[in-house]
Structure formats: structure tokens, C-alpha cells
Chain A
């Protein structure tokens, strides 16, 4: 009996000590809700980014849930609220249906950050959203293209899946230049992100005998498809070539094409939001307050004449 009591006391002592030890540098509990890495190369990099930033070494205890299904994401959020996390980080599968969960979170005193995608809800329901501005990506690319000072711009415009954020944002600024006559639209067609279809579209232009000097593809894969058609037709491209090649997303292999001078431009769509969110959480923990509700990720555009191997290693996806 005595033994049992002493054992109990000893255990209590250990627990007390452990609690004290933890008290000094308490881990911040975060629940991360994202789409699964299998969705795309972008998502894979995005998930990896959060996994490397929200670690115990950085002072976090992270729980993650990945799903393409909004209902599953909502369930996971509910579970995280029950588990008593301090912060919820959400990249929602669908933009609607989150209001009641966000209200529950608010009631429980949980602070919410959105990343990659915004949710259709009142701004007061979250601390801040860290997102890409696809429209800005398009503007950066178009500004670069105008900076090339060509005598004439005859553009083949290969679009992504119609209606997607990336397509709308990257098409908009170029469409305006088509409309005001600064650039000629040789063809504007969607390849729904499909490399092979992009190739067919360019092939059909080549077969029609029309001349063009710019290919503006809304992602890297479609740019690669377009280039394959040019190679088969004996049309030179890239730095010093007849046709300017532009892509988006900054896959590692695409940036290597830039470095080799086969392409001219690649626009970034940054999947790296974790560092920014972590910074904001630390600010809140230290008693500070946040200034902006929407934080736009800084996104670059790479030029084949200035890109370096370091850029590829730092920003290349995959």
C-alpha cells in the first residue's frame, strides 16, 4: 500500500515537472486544413511548405487534414475546434458553407487564417488571408511582354480551364491589350491545362500559315506543348528566336528551359505562404495586431536573360 502511494506521488511529481517544463515554451496548437498534395505540383509544394514551417522546432504543434471535399474539410475543422487548437489555417475546397464553423471557432476563441483561397464570408470572421493575386500575375507578365519592345505583337494565347481563378486572372490583362489594339490576337483558345491540346492548337495555327511571334501559355505544361509544335515545324523560339515563349507556375524544369534560353518568361504562382502566416501568428502571440486583412503573396516573373541557377533552386517547384 505504502509502495503504491509513493509510486503515485512520484508519478504526480513527474507530471508536475513535465507541466512546468512545458510551461516555459508552450507549443502553439495549429490545425491546418488544405487540399491534398496530389491535386497538383503547386499543392505539393504548398503542403510541403506548411510542413516545414509549422514544426515543433519552430514552436508549433500542428495537426493537418487534407481533402478535396468541402464536407470533409468542415468535419476536420469541427474536430480541430473540439481538440482546442489555438489557430485554424484554411485553404478551402469550396468557398461557401464555412460560416457556422467560423462562428464556432470565434466562440471558442480560435483565430482563423485563410491561405491560397479566400472564403465567401465576412472579413471579421478571420484574422487575415494570404493569397495569390492571379490578376497581378497576368499584369506582371504582360508588362514584361510590352517591355520587349517588339514592332508587332502577334500572340497565340493558350488558356487554362475556363472559369478557373488562374485562367481569369492571367487572361484579363492580355485581353485588354487585344481589345485596345496594342497586340493582335492570332488565336485565343483553351487547352484546359492539357499539354497535348496546347500542341494541337499551335499546330493548327502553323498549318493555317498565319504568322505569330508570341506564345502566351497560362501554365508551364501548355507552354511545353506549344514549343513541341514549334520544334516539329522548324520555328525557332526563346532567346534570339522568332517566337517569344511565356509560361506560368515556375516548375523546376520550366525554369531550366528559361536558363537554357529555350523559353523567355515564366511567371510565379507562389505556394509559399506558411512563413508569412507564421510571422503573423508570432505577432499576435506577442500581443501585436495585424494591419491588413488581405496579404498578397509576393510573386516574381523570371526572364530568361537574367535567371540564375540559384533562382531555380529557390523558386522551382517539384
Chain B
């Protein structure tokens, strides 16, 4: 740990640009390969058409829109997951369950108050954010204060979360019918692009602003690289870790609300089921070290879109239902191998042979 940290400190100035650039290479290449594969398979795969939906509005339709739209929850969760991974060197496996709780709170409030007005939707959204932050803080406390491994700490909520979601609304799948909810998960009347795509963009902008105008990014990175050193430098490491979990909580709430909005229904058992694994995978594909430290949120978001492209591709290829996960696994193995240190080193050596360059600098995300 210490050794790696020092190598980064000494080499940081020279490698900074190169590191940033090479990290995004893996998710970009995987995306590109998937895209090329699809174009070869079916030239019209990425056609976008304008159609009229059943509400009578003109909307965009096509696989690109489906991918961008379908990956929204995953992209938002991947952003939060990146932060937790960077700060704590571990992952939160309870995000799906937390989103189910947040979504249940959202639906509960909407169903409790008569007519669904914009005001009520905002109140419900804020309430479910608050609940998700509380659960995030619970996870964060276990990790930051009690020093429990993140995966073990979040295993508690992973196990209990969907039962808690059940207590909120009962066993059946409660529905909410309202144009406002439809607009959240579908289209705002008159806007041809699905709303979830805008929500991802807004989340991305908020994070970009946070990193630009606050120390959040720098502190997170410092805590992840060496939390003792960070503490000695006056950073409140407990608070930084806790904060990352609370921010992830808000991401869970936003994803939960989108997922509820898509169908106007909540099924606490299936809402964003197994998305925690995809979110962690997105972080990994994005080239972020799962052991914490340096991170690039854009990489994780690209990773999320790569995963969704893969899913859409497999559906389009009509891969039989019984084998879809196996196919997915094969592709993921390839992507993960592509991003592995061994492969990177080999690629570096090949590159050196061509450039005849200097001593290679190890940039393993730390």
C-alpha cells in the first residue's frame, strides 16, 4: 500500500495526463467493439426514427435511445459506486435493495395523499432521498466508524433491504398512475428524448461541479490511497467515507424513482434486482481500481453504457433465455482481462518496443 502510494506521489506529475487518458481506453474500446460488432451484424442497428407514441407526441426511437435510456439507473448508481469504491476500497452491494426501499417510500407517499400534484412528487422525492441517505449513513457508519469491510457491512442491508421495502407497501405490487410519474420515467410531453437520459446528464453535471468547486474528489482520492496519511494531513477520513455512502444513497433514491417512473409500479422483489453486480462491474470496466484510490467517474459511466449495449445486443441476437447470462459472462471476462494489470503491462511493453521509450511507469489506478 505505502509503496504504491509513494510511487504515485513521485511519478504523478509526469503520468497524470497519460493516466487519465489510458484509463478511459478500456471502456471506450469495449463500447467501440460492441458497436462495430452490431453494425456488421445489422447495418440498421443504430438507426434512429421519429415516431408518434400512444399519447400522440413525437418521440425518438431506436436501439441507441434504448441503450442510453435503459442504462440510466445503472449509470447513476455507477457514479455513486465509484465514489464509495475510491474512498473505502470496497463496494456497496446493497444499492439494489436501497433503491427498492427508496422507491417504496416514493410510491407510499404518492399513494397516501390523494391527487398527485407536482408538489407532492417533490415532497415524495425529497422524502425518499432522506430515507436513502439514512440507510447510506448506516452503511457508512459501519464502514467508516467500525472499520467493517464494505462488502460485509452492506451485506446487512442487501439481506434485509427488500424485506424493509415490503413493510412499506405490503406484498402486492402497488401502482401509481399519473402523467407526472410517466414523464419521470418516460417522456415529458413534447420532448422527444426520454427523461432518464436528462436525469443522468444532470447527475453527471452535479458531480462535475462538485469535483471542480469542492475538495470532494481530491479528499476521496487521498483517503482511498492512504487513509492514515490523509488523516495526518488533516482530512477527516471518517467523514469522507461516510459522505461517499450518503451520496451513493442519493444515487439509489434517484435510480429508484426512475425505475418506478418507467412503469408506474413498484415490485420490491424485482426492482433493480442484481444491479449492484452490474454497478460494480461498471466501475471495474471503467478502469477504476476496486481497491480504492484514484478514480474516473466518466469511466464508470462508459462502463455502464457498455454493459447495457451488451444486454441490448444479446436481446437483438435472440440469444436463448437459458444461456443469456453465460454469453454475458464470456464478454465480461474478455473486457475485464483487457483491463487487467498483466494485459496492460504487456501492452505497455509492445508500445515501448515501437517508441523505444524510457523506463515504463506503472499506473495501476493508484
* Chain A residues within 8 Å of B, Cβ to Cβ: 37-41, 43-45, 159, 162, 187-190, 192-196, 199-201, 203-204, 206-209, 220-221, 224-225, 228, 230-236, 251-253, 317-318
> In the complex the two chains form, is B263's CB within 8 Å of A44's CB?
no
> In the complex the two chains form, is A201's CB within 8 Å of B315's CB?
yes
A230 to B263: give the CA distance in the assembly, Å. 12
A45 to B320: give the CA distance in the assembly, Å. 34
Cβ-neighbour of B265 out of A43, A188, A195, A252 (below 8 A)? A195
**Within 8 Å CB of A196, what residues of B?**
259, 262-263, 270-272
Closest to B166 in A: A38
> In the complex the two chains form, is B171's CB within 8 Å of A200's CB?
no
Closest to B322 in A: A162
Cβ-neighbour of B312 out of A39, A40, A43, A204 (below 8 A)? A204
Chain A binding surface SS class: helix
Q: How far is the CB of A19 from chain B (nearest CB, A)?
A: 41
A44 to B269: give the CA distance in the assembly, Å. 13
A110 to B181: give the CA distance in the assembly, Å. 53
- State which of B54-62, B124-132, B227-235, B351-359 sits at the interface with chain A: B54-62
Say whether B173 faces chain A, with CB atoms less than 8 Å apart: yes
Say whether B149 faces chain A, with CB atoms less than 8 Å apart: no
A-B contact pairs, 23 of them (CB 8 A): A40-B171, A41-B171, A162-B321, A187-B318, A188-B320, A188-B321, A190-B321, A192-B273, A193-B269, A195-B270, A196-B263, A199-B263, A200-B311, A207-B63, A207-B66, A208-B316, A221-B263, A231-B55, A232-B54, A232-B59, A233-B61, A234-B51, A253-B175
Asked whether A232 and B186 contact (CB < 8 A) given A194-B270, A195-B267, the answer is yes
**Within 8 Å CB of B44, what residues of A?**
209
> In the complex the two chains form, is B265's CB within 8 Å of A231's CB?
no
**Within 8 Å CB of A233, what residues of B?**
51, 53, 61
Q: How far is the CB of A105 from chain B (nearest CB, A)?
A: 29
> In the complex the two chains form, is B270's CB within 8 Å of A44's CB?
no
> In the complex the two chains form, is B265's CB within 8 Å of A224's CB?
yes
**Within 8 Å CB of B173, what residues of A?**
41, 220-221, 251, 253, 318
Per-position binary interface string of chain B over residues 246-272, scored 1 when its CB falls under 8 Å from any chain A CB and 0 otherwise? 000000000000010011010101111
Q: How far is the CB of A205 from chain B (nearest CB, A)?
A: 8
Closest to A186 in B: B318
Closest to B320 in A: A188
Q: How far is the CB of A220 from chain B (nearest CB, A)?
A: 8
A162 to B52: give the CA distance in the assembly, Å. 35
**Within 8 Å CB of A252, what residues of B?**
172
Say whether B158 faces chain A, with CB atoms less than 8 Å apart: no
Cβ-neighbour of B66 out of A39, A204, A225, A235 (below 8 A)? A204
Cβ-neighbour of A44 out of B53, B61, B171, B262 (below 8 A)? B171
Q: How far is the CB of A174 from chain B (nearest CB, A)?
A: 13
A235 to B177: give the CA distance in the assembly, Å. 20
Say whether B170 faces chain A, with CB atoms less than 8 Å apart: yes
A317 to B174: give the CA distance in the assembly, Å. 11
Asked whether A318 and B315 contact (CB < 8 A) given A192-B273, A195-B265, A228-B263, the answer is no
Per-position binary interface string of chain B over residues 336-358, scored 1 when its CB falls under 8 Å from any chain A CB and 0 otherwise? 00000000000000000000000
Closest to A235 in B: B54
Interface residues of B in 58-105 (CB under 8 A from A): 59, 61-63, 66, 70
> In the complex the two chains form, is B263's CB within 8 Å of A200's CB?
no
> In the complex the two chains form, is A200's CB within 8 Å of B51's CB?
no
Q: How far is the CB of A291 from chain B (nearest CB, A)?
A: 34
Say whether B362 faces chain A, with CB atoms less than 8 Å apart: no
> In the complex the two chains form, is A221's CB within 8 Å of B52's CB?
no
> In the complex the two chains form, is A195's CB within 8 Å of B55's CB?
no
> In the complex the two chains form, is B267's CB within 8 Å of A221's CB?
yes
Q: How far is the CB of B309 from chain A (nearest CB, A)?
A: 12
Say whether B187 faces chain A, with CB atoms less than 8 Å apart: yes
Q: How far is the CB of A169 from chain B (nearest CB, A)?
A: 16
Q: How far is the CB of B177 from chain A (nearest CB, A)?
A: 9
Closest to B187 in A: A232
Q: How far is the CB of A96 from chain B (nearest CB, A)?
A: 24
> In the complex the two chains form, is A251's CB within 8 Å of B172's CB?
yes
Which of B66, B272, B315: most chain A Cβ within 10 A? B315
Cβ-neighbour of B315 out of A38, A195, A204, A225 (below 8 A)? A204
Asked whether A234 and B315 contact (CB < 8 A) given A159-B321, A190-B321, A195-B267, the answer is no
Q: How far is the CB of A132 from chain B (nearest CB, A)?
A: 18
Closest to A201 in B: B315
Q: How far is the CB of A242 from chain B (nearest CB, A)?
A: 11
> In the complex the two chains form, is B265's CB within 8 Å of A221's CB?
yes
